[in-house]
Amino acid sequence: MDFLNRSINWSLSAAFLAVILVSQPLSGQISQTQMEKLQRAVQFIEFAYIEKLEDEKIVEDAIRGILSELDPHSVYLSADELRRANEPLEGSFEGIGIQFNIVNDTIVVISPIPGGPSEKVGLMPGDKIVRINGESSYGSKISNQFVQDRLRGERGSVVEVSVYRMGVSELLDFSITRDRIPINSVDAAFMATPEVGYIKLNRFARTSMREYREASQKLLDQGMKHLILDLNYNSGGYLDVAKDLTDQFLDRGKLIVYTEGQASPTQEFMSTFRGNFKEGKLVVLINEGSASASEILAGAVQDWDRGLIVGRRSFGKGLVQRPFELPDGSAIRLTTAQYHTPTGRSIQKPYDEGDAEDYYRDLSERLSSGELVSPENISFPDSLKFYTKKNQRVVYGGGGIMPDYFIPIDTNMVSEFYSRLLRRGILNNFGIEYTNRHRSSLNERFPDVESFIDGFSVDSAIMDEMYSYANEQGITDEGEEQSEEVVEFMQNQVKALIARNLFDISAFTQVVMQMDNAFLKAVELIEDDTFEKLNIHYIQN
């Protein structure tokens, strides 16, 4: 069946190419004989195929078929797919501006985005949206797509929503004028210790440098001398943003990354005098979900001995995609070059052309092979050995960035009971409902995140409430004894979720980090003499 599907894709690909080549041969790259072959294939399909094919579908399937045989990252995007794919990187979308969650088939407002349309009309955390433009918005039909289809829309257009608010007997009706809503790429920024700052970046988007500068300056004003930059699960983004962020840390005139490809001349990207953190200790957190732009930054920091990399081997996405726009607003993102770190390491992990499924299965194979648990399960041949620019420390190529300090996945924090709670969204939903019931008293007791972290604890009474809530949803521990570590971890998760619903995502991260081994290791490395022993470049303030 796979062979048949592939054959159909290639037939459609031939049809597409033939149509193009009839009007404009590709500078002799395809011979006249092959052009005639493609044209004949089109004629056969038009004359003899069992049913009439739509032109648009033929062309789209043809393009997808061609690109699927090249590499895992060359893709075709329809105009709508392109718009949705670009939203996170462009840093905005158009809608009503809320963070929401679906709890028991109901849309619950986590928080209105500050300055957005929903905040302006008075939507509040905990509000339940039960009607959108007169249509009921609860029940089994509710999904993230349902919500986005109805709440996102053209800037200036109006959406009518009805909400249930705890303590109010009647539904509240709101007319909300959609507007441009920012998508933040800095999830959190806070002081981990009196001298160590922490910034978590989730993508390299158009707004990332502005957000980074604002966050880092705020921390510098609070006394930051050293920095932990968290790129865990950051899948990348724009190359120029990766270059600009890396430039914040390197001295002037350092190679950040270079690209080269068959049709793309070698291009080098250098650091400049600009940047607000060229001094101080730097730790970059990465894991198997860190890719592309994240790997560019981590590779440059490591190669120049500017800081230490902590975590697990990154994804290994070192292929450069260049967009080519098509007449109907769609586009091809075509791989044109490879990224290389300053020492010459290729970031890209190996792949077989046309086998994207096997390529992405690599992450599950890392788990089964034990790589995510122990670095001893990773083998690097001597041919992939490189040396850092300043201290001649050994680093390895062959795909992804291997950290200086490996942090295994902590399997001790996971139990079957916890997994069921997570899969069913019990912890998340309980955090929302607990916060909504106690919001007034919590706001009165804890005016800011720091007072909440210091003064609020998830005690046995709150955990009993959570267990009862889970039981009502049909989730029990089924006699499984929960270790002290698992219970402590669940308490931390519940506290973090309450913090998110009371404050924001940054508060959630600040609480979660208290039990994050990579974060704790980063703080330890900065506070002990590791940087001095390894002669890692930094200037003591």
CATH of the domain at 160: 2.30.42.10
Of residues 104 and 397, the one with the higher pLDDT is: 397
* Distance of alpha carbon 396 from alpha carbon 383, whole angstroms: 9
Q: How confident is the model at residue 437 (pLDDT cuts 50, 70, 90)?
A: very high
What is the C-alpha R_g of the chain? 26
Select which of 292, 294, 415, 506 is catalytic. Answer: 292
In a shared domain, residues 194 and 178: no
Do 297 and 357 belong together in one domain? yes
Q: pLDDT band for 355, please (50, 70, 90 cuts).
A: low
Both structure tokens of 337? 């070059």
Q: Residue 9 — very low, low, confident or very high, per pLDDT cuts 50/70/90? A: very low
pLDDT (mean) for 240-259: 97
Q: Report which of residues 356 and 390 the model is more confident about.
A: 390
Residue range 377-403: mean pLDDT, rounded: 87
- Taking the C-alpha atoms of residue 26 and residue 35, their distance in angstroms, rounded to an integer, is 10
Mean pLDDT of the 333-349 span: 92
Whether residue 271 lies in the annotated active site: no
The answer to whether residues 250 and 389 belong to one domain is yes
Q: Is residue 176 part of a domain?
A: yes
b or e along 126-149 (b: 16 or more beta carbons within 10 Å of the residue's beta carbon)? Answer: bbbbbbbeeeebbeeebeeeebee
472 in Cβ contact with 423 (< 8 Å): no
- Is residue 207 located within the same domain as residue 157? no
Q: Is residue 525 included in any domain, yes or no?
A: no
Average pLDDT, the chain: 86
> Which of 303, 305, 404, 504 is the catalytic position?
303
Same domain assignment for residues 344 and 402 = yes
pLDDT in tens, 217-233: 999 999 999 999 999 99
Same domain? 389 vs 452: no
Question: What is the Cα–Cα distance from 529 to 541, expressed in whole angstroms?
Answer: 16
Active site residue 303: yes
Residue 416 has which token pair?
Answer: 């079957």
Catalytic residue among 128, 317, 495, 521: 317
With respect to residue 534, please indicate whether it lies within any of the assigned structural domains.
no
**Within this chain, do residues 137 and 259 fall inside the same structural domain, yes or no?**
no
Whether 540 is in a domain gets the answer: no
Query: Looking at 407, 442, 464, which one is the last position of a domain?
Result: 407
d(CA 341, CA 318): 10
Whose CA is closest to 186, among 197, 170, 175? 197
Per-position DSSP letters for 434-449, written without gaps between them: HHHHHHHHHHHH-SSH
Please give the pLDDT value at position 455: 96
- pLDDT: is 418 or 405 the higher one? 405
The pair of three-digit structure tokens given for residue 133, joined into one six-digit string: 């433009």
In a domain, 344, yes or no: yes
Domain interval for residue 22: 2-69
pLDDT reading at 42 higher than 60: yes
Domain assignment present for residue 165? The answer is: yes
Q: Are residues 149 and 293 in the same domain?
A: no
In this structure, the answer to whether residues 117 and 173 fall within a common structural domain is yes
Is the pLDDT score of 23 beyond 70?
no
* Position 477, amino acid: D
Q: Does 485 share its domain with 403? A: no
pTM for the model stands at 0.82
Q: Is residue 537 part of a domain?
A: no
As for how many domains the chain has, the answer is: 4
Q: Are residues 222 and 314 in the same domain?
A: yes
Is the pLDDT reported for residue 1 higher than 50? no
In this structure, are 260 and 381 located in the same domain?
yes
Q: Which CATH number goes with the domain that contains 306?
A: 3.90.226.10
**pLDDT at 368 > cutoff 70:** yes
Known catalytic residue at 175: no
Is 76 part of any domain?
A: no
Final residue in a domain of this structure, among 407, 430, 455: 407
| 19 pLDDT tier (thresholds 50, 70, 90) | very low
As beta bridge partners, residue 101 has 108
